[in-house]
Structure 1
Amino acid sequence: MKVKGHLPLEELKRLERAERNADQARRLRIVILAIEGWTAPAIAMAVGLSRRICQRWLRRYNESGLEGLDDKRGLQPRRPLTPAQEAEVRRRIEAGPTPEDKVCSLRGKDFQRILADEFGVQRSLASIYHLLHRLGYSYLRPRPRHRKANQEAIDKFKAEWPQKIKAIAEEHPGKQLRVYFQDESRFGQQGTNTNVWAKKGSRPTAVRQTEYEYLWVLGAVCPETGHAEGLLSPQLNTKIINTFLDQFSQTIPNGEHAVMVWDGAGFHTSKALVIPENITLVQLPAYSPELNPIENLWHYLKSHFWSNRSYADYEELETAAMEAWQEAVLDHQLIQTVCAAPYTNRATSD
């Protein structure tokens, strides 16, 4: 067995005598015996290890000298990418698929190819998923975004929000502001499906109704307090909105003023709209539902209560809507979580 002359034989023996770690001393003994001309099977028998392990330690010594005999188990594993490469991978993930990728969504196999082709890193599929999770990414379903959404207008709305709230507060001295987010959702026999637990490899089925009866659920929620008010209606127009605003205004305590944030739908901007004195309306930028957290409530109600079911008529729809509202929307802590609006920071003004 060939041994590179990193250290003299006498120095290796001295290190072996001084070594307190029995495993490290045994590795030094492997190198010493190899220098003295012992064969691999003889060394293995002498130190009580397999021939292959003895050859492995000797190879490490030949490659790295004394450092090659260190036990690296339990140390932080070397990452496959440098920090600069990780930053580039992050940019690649967030940029999404390119025309060259020929897919609409990058999956594990795609990232496996990207790392091999663009970074020269070969990794198993399991390692790819581990890397993605370590970088802080999960495979999530994106929120729908309208193609006409104006990001500049959205950013401007967020930036101007504190001053807008301050101005409304100055117009209503002595009142505590409560910010509510308002929206309407259609719920009916045009059903939706949501996830269910099923055996791996199976394709479960669920009812998806395709009939035409429906109703409208109108709601307003305060993310800070979790307070919510709602109204069910078979139709939606300015008259119904006025009814909702009137009923909602009666729930506002005397010492408070409501700031109602909603979109620019026609029945929200009609000249026939009647705005109660204790409500100030704030219109969102066009095509920006992501700024209205009550959208999350509609998703929650559909995924937890209204999906995978069929409804015989309007009465059944109405009953299902009221039961879901009572079960979920009257839970203030749940509403605070589901309808959180981080971009507003806080939803009141003293």
Structure 2
Amino acid sequence: MHVEPHGTQEELKGLERGEKNATRSRRLRVLILALEGWTAPAVATAVGLSRRACQDVVRRYNERGLAGLDERRGRSRRPVLSSEEEAALRERIEAGPTDPDPDRVCTLRGKDFQRVLASEFNLLRSLTGVYRLLHKLGYSCLRPRPKHRKADPEKIEAFMREWPERIEQIAAGRPGKRLRVYFQDESRFGQQGTNTNVWAKRGSRPTAVRQTEYEYLWVLGAVCAETGHAEGLLSPQLNTKIVNTFLELFSATVPEGEHAVMVWDGAGFHTAKALAVPENITLVRLPPYSPELNPIENLWHYLKSHFWSNRVYDDYEALEQAAMDA
């Protein structure tokens, strides 16, 4: 390949040593090898490009010098969707399947979005193009968190809006005390097992044991996200007496100069008349059917998915040991 003398071979080698852009460095290497008398096929093999791509690098260098090695910018692509269409597609994605027609599915898959784009937006795209568009818009296929149908969005919003004022009121009634907010909840763990994801070969359907026996225990926990202070209790049953025992034991762990604000749900054993609340604890009840406001729920999910799933437990003692280990 003929190379015009825009620069000496040593100058090109010096540029290659100082070049940080990998693409431009490879193009300089093409020129250097061509100046050494290498053929186009040999250069292509050495640098990992096609023969035609190497010839194109030399041609552009011959015509424009070092400027010919710069990236060539083509015309900008026309957006797949206009801003109005993009907004409409976002609404369609977040609305989910239409009921009952025409979707007839519980969740929209790539093939469904392919049909939606064709029928509602007059846009034909391959399945790969559909997924690329969804990812570009910032969407991923995520598993939703369960939500009770009786949840009241207005009460949940009011609870969050009034939270700072409620904390101030609690603090005002306990001068000299440092408030610590704890989130409390209970979770049942037993031989009615669950399964979690495992690594397996693509296309396979791995199996895992799911136990269906009837021994179980209750895990009670309270966590302060600010300090990391956490307390737990294991019990074969759950009632107001057990909750009182937990509150008594927890109260003894609260430092002298602090006051615990314990956030929990409205379960029956949390509202019973026999409930005994220590003086250094103030209880705050969450709105009904709003577990998303209690982040300790994430702890139960983590323990079940990382420690308690895909396993068999022979008896109560095995459950207790697994709970303590986790």
Shorter-chain TM-score category? 0.7 to 0.9
Instruction: Report the AA paired with residue 174 of structure 2.
Output: H
Matched, 1:168 2:170: yes
Match of 1:132 in 2: 134
Q: Deviations over 1:5-26 (max 9, x none)?
A: xxxxxxxxxxxxxxxxxxxxxx
- The 3-state SS of whatever aligns with 1:136 is coil
Matched, 1:97 2:114: no
1:253 to 252, 255, 264: 255
Match of 1:305 in 2: 307
Match of 2:219 in 1: 217
Q: Provide the rounded CA distance (Å) in 1 between the counterparts of 2:218 and 2:117.
A: 49
Q: Name stretches of at least 5 consecutive residues in structure 1 with no aligned partner.
A: 1-48, 50-70, 325-350
Shift of 1:72: 4.5
- 1:256 to 1:102, Cα distance in 2 relative to 1, 3 A: same
Match of 2:161 in 1: 159
Instruction: Report the AA paired with residue 269 of structure 1.
Output: T
Shift of 1:126: 1.1
- The 3-state SS of whatever aligns with 1:225 is coil
Shift of 1:232: 0.2
- The 3-state SS of whatever aligns with 1:300 is helix
Deviates more, 1:270-279 or 1:84-93: 84-93
Q: Provide the rounded CA distance (Å) in 2 between the counterparts of 1:161 and 1:122.
A: 49
Instruction: Report the AA paired with residue 91 of structure 1.
Output: E
Q: Deviations over 1:220-252 (max 9, x none)?
A: 111222221100000000000000001111111
Q: Provide the rounded CA distance (Å) in 1 between the counterparts of 2:228 and 2:93.
A: 35
Q: Provide the rounded CA distance (Å) in 2 between the counterparts of 1:91 and 1:268.
A: 40
Match of 1:230 in 2: 232
Shift of 1:88: 1.1
Greater relative CO, 1 or 2 (CA 8 Å, sep 6+)? 1
Q: Deviations over 1:18-69 (max 9, x none)?
A: xxxxxxxxxxxxxxxxxxxxxxxxxxxxxxx9xxxxxxxxxxxxxxxxxxxx
Instruction: Report the AA paired with residue 150 of structure 1.
Output: D
> Root-mean-square deviation (CA), in Å?
1.2
Match of 1:337 in 2: none
Instruction: Report the AA paired with residue 246 of structure 1.
Output: E
Q: Provide the rounded CA distance (Å) in 1 between the counterparts of 2:76 and 2:158.
A: 45
Match of 2:79 in 1: 79
Match of 2:277 in 1: 275
Runs (4+) of structure 1 exceeding 4 A deviation are none
Q: After the TM superposition, which residues 169-188 of structure 1 pair with which residues of structure 2 at under 5 Å, given as runs?
A: 169-188=171-190
Shift of 1:219: 0.3
Q: Provide the rounded CA distance (Å) in 2 between the counterparts of 1:279 and 1:88.
A: 50
Matched, 1:288 2:282: no
Q: Deviations over 1:204-223 (max 9, x none)?
A: 00000000000000001112
Instruction: Report the AA paired with residue 322 of structure 1.
Output: M
- The 3-state SS of whatever aligns with 1:212 is strand
**How many residues align structurally?**
254
Matched, 1:242 2:241: no
Shift of 1:78: 2.8
Instruction: Report the AA paired with residue 97 of structure 1.
Output: P
Q: Deviations over 1:252-279 (max 9, x none)?
A: 1111111100000000000100001110
Q: TM-score, normalised by structure 1?
A: 0.71
- 1:225 to 1:78, Cα distance in 2 relative to 1, 3 A: farther
Identical-pair percentage: 74
Q: Provide the rounded CA distance (Å) in 1 between the counterparts of 2:145 and 2:245.
A: 31
2:108 to 106, 116, 121: 106
Shift of 1:313: 0.2
Matched, 1:144 2:111: no
Shift of 1:156: 0.8
